[in-house]
Amino acid sequence: MTLSTWPIFGHHWAVDLLDRGLRAGRLPHALLLAGPAQIGKRTLATALAAALICTGADRPCGECRACRLVSRGVHPDVRLVSASDSERGREGVLKIDQIRELQREATLAPMEAPRKIFILRELERANLPAANALLKTLEEPPPQVTLLLTSARPHALLPTIISRCQVLNLRTLSRPQVIEALTTHWQAPAEQAELLARLADGRLGWAVQRLTDTQAWEERARRLAEVRQLVGQSRVQRLAYADELSRSPAALLPTLTLWISWWRDLLLVQQGCADALRNVDLAAELAREAGRFDPGHVHRYLARLQAAPTQINQNANARLLLETLVLHIPAAQPGPA
């Protein structure tokens, strides 16, 4: 048996499990793929959808009509359901009207394939009415329907939804796996692949997205410059910055992630662990800056920073949180800028 036809990088144990279930005809009617954002959950769900309706010898073959239509996202019996377009600066929400439409379509006979398949992305974004409506479908699914759910925060789902699904908890990829995928499949230069693999923290989807996103690289450079500038700014300037950033909800978590990466790398340099840097392209600057800060202060501040994303997701007041963070930035000793 070979799994080479599955268009998946990493997650070999999950692919093997699904392939064996497919061959034995024992796949569940509802499957939940859980794991961090951008690690390949939707890619795996799409590959499984193709495998379920593939007409080739080795499923998914990637060449038959069904596989080609699924890969292009236009197969009439494979439907992607995701959170509605977000309002400015806010996450989208999976609404009850979308679930009702799914339920209506689920009662119809497949048009081409032997079954209908629904891929529901980011199920944690479903509001309570939508989640309750979906629960009814999970309890009494039509025999010709397969539901493939994905979630980056399965703990936010209704326990009754989880109990009615087979759950596969996907893990992030290793750095060598990300590098290999970027260099062999996306032809990324070795140096760029190394940097992306360090920054991606095992999220191949994130790395691929950043590969050609010039705007994202410019944003990264700007935000990292800002966190370094804040060290030398007055309280008034820091509070003004916190106020400005709090007015850009979409930029809040990505910015905090960059702050965490900078202070984490600074602490690693101070501890003699520069080989583990994420911002490896800034190694020289990190080495210069490391001696200007007390390691104990950096460690305590990093702990405060790392708690911030969870607090934001729990609806903490963003402005107050940012004000606290900018006012507690470790003080630097005089030295080279």
Mean pLDDT of 74-96: 78
**pLDDT range class, residue 87, cuts 50, 70, 90:** very low
Mean pLDDT of 64-93: 82
Q: What is the rounded CA–CA span in Å between residue 257 and residue 27?
A: 38
Q: What is the rounded CA–CA span in Å between residue 278 and residue 330?
A: 21
Provide the pLDDT for residue 3: 55
List the domain boundaries for the chain: 12-169, 213-327
Q: For the domain with range 213-327, which CATH number is right: 1.10.1200, 1.10.1060, 1.20.272, 1.10.150? A: 1.20.272
Q: How many helices (H) and strands (E) does the chain have?
A: 15, 5
DSSP state of 101: H
Q: What's the angle, vertex CA 34, arms to CA 131 and CA 139, rounded to 5? A: 40
Q: What is the rounded CA–CA span in Å between residue 228 and residue 95?
A: 41
Q: Strand (E) positions, 20-90?
A: 30-34, 78-81
Mean pLDDT of 254-260: 95
**pLDDT range class, residue 213, cuts 50, 70, 90:** very high
Provide the pLDDT for residue 216: 93
Provide the pLDDT for residue 335: 58
Q: Considering the chain, what percentage of its residues have pLDDT values greater than 70?
A: 96
What is the overall mean pLDDT for the chain?
Answer: 93
Is there a common fold for 12-169 and 213-327?
Answer: no
Tell me the CATH architecture of domain 12-169. 3-Layer(aba) Sandwich (3.40)
Contacts of residue 242, Cβ cutoff 8 Å, sequence gap at least 6: 319, 322, 323, 325, 326
Asked whether residue 54 carries a pLDDT value surpassing 90, the answer given is yes
Asked whether residue 337 carries a pLDDT value surpassing 70, the answer given is no
Q: What's the angle, vertex CA 88, arms to CA 79 and CA 120, rounded to 5? A: 20
Provide the pLDDT for residue 84: 66
46: amino acid identity, one letter: T
Over residues 295-307, the pLDDT tens digits come to 999 999 999 999 9
